[in-house]
Amino acid sequence: MGGPRRTLDERLAALEEAIDVIRSALDVGPEKRVVRGAGPHYPIPGYPAGPPPAHRVGIWVGAMLPQTLELIGRRADGWVPSVGRNTIGDVRAASRAIDVAALVAGRDPSDVRRILNVSGQITDGARGADPLVGPVDQWVETLAEWALDVGVDAFIVWPQDTDLRHVERLAAEVVPAVRELLAASTPGGGSG
């Protein structure tokens, strides 16, 4: 797309620099500020920050390399990995690495929100070998387990079947049941 090719170390430094520039542009108060970037990747001599957003805008990163996970733990507001490209075991380990990096940086690990991209198919009948290809109860158990064990705050579901009924079943059957199971699993969140 016209950008320079960078080594891994350069990409990490450029990403951290970009987070600083974007944060500076978005975290404007009522006073007019000038956004500057010292470089070397994004030298910005200064421009007036635009109007402040109506609410704080989080900076989310979707990456899995150990160096980027450390950066996410230190600086990002959220993390967006995918199951499919990675196993849930990979995502679990990466989430723990983010937690460690956040703690080392003096942050609460829960300050880094996590949204997990998943794909699957709700089926009728027997449970499938794939955790997200099977009946509603399989989906509910899987998503609740991942939410609790991995620390996922939300899921983005990419249905394998584009039939609207799949989305309707997710909304009507899976989502409420996952919420109920999580409420019951959270101290003070459920009645029993």
Domain residue ranges in the chain: 1-57, 58-192
- The string of pLDDT tens digits covering residues 86-125 is 999 999 999 999 999 999 999 999 999 999 999 999 999 8
Q: Distance between CA 10 and CA 13 in Å, rounded? A: 5
Instruction: Report pLDDT digits (tens) over 41-72.
Output: 999 998 888 888 888 899 999 999 999 999 99
Q: What average pLDDT does the structure give for the chain?
A: 90
CB-based contact 78:112 (threshold 8 Å): yes
Residue 187 has pLDDT above 80, yes or no: no
Residue type, 123: T
Kindly give the interhelix angle for 66-75 and 8-26, rounded to the nearest 10 degrees.
20
**Residue 170 token pair:** 């997710």
pLDDT category at 126 given cuts 50, 70, 90 is confident
Percent of the chain with pLDDT over 70: 95
Closest CA to 136 of 178, 180, 176, 174: 174
**CA-CA distance, 6 to 79, in Å (whole number)?**
22
**Three-state SS for 134?**
strand
Q: Is the pLDDT of residue 157 over 60?
A: yes
pLDDT of residue 191: 43
The pLDDT score that the predictor gives to residue 30 is: 65
Task: Please list, in sequence order, all residues whose beta carbon lies within 8 angstroms of the beta carbon of residue 40, skipping any fewer than 6 positions away.
Answer: 17
Residue with tokens 């230190």: 74
Q: Dihedrals φ, ψ of 188, to 5°?
A: 80, 0
Q: What letter does residue 123 receive in the DSSP assignment?
A: -
pLDDT band for 189, please (50, 70, 90 cuts).
low
Q: Which amino acid is at 153?
A: D
CATH class of 58-192: alpha beta
Give 151: exposed, middle or buried? Use CB within 10 Å, 0-12, 13-18, 19+.
Answer: buried
Quick one: tokens of 118?
Answer: 């998943």
Q: Which pLDDT does position 172 carry in this prediction?
A: 97
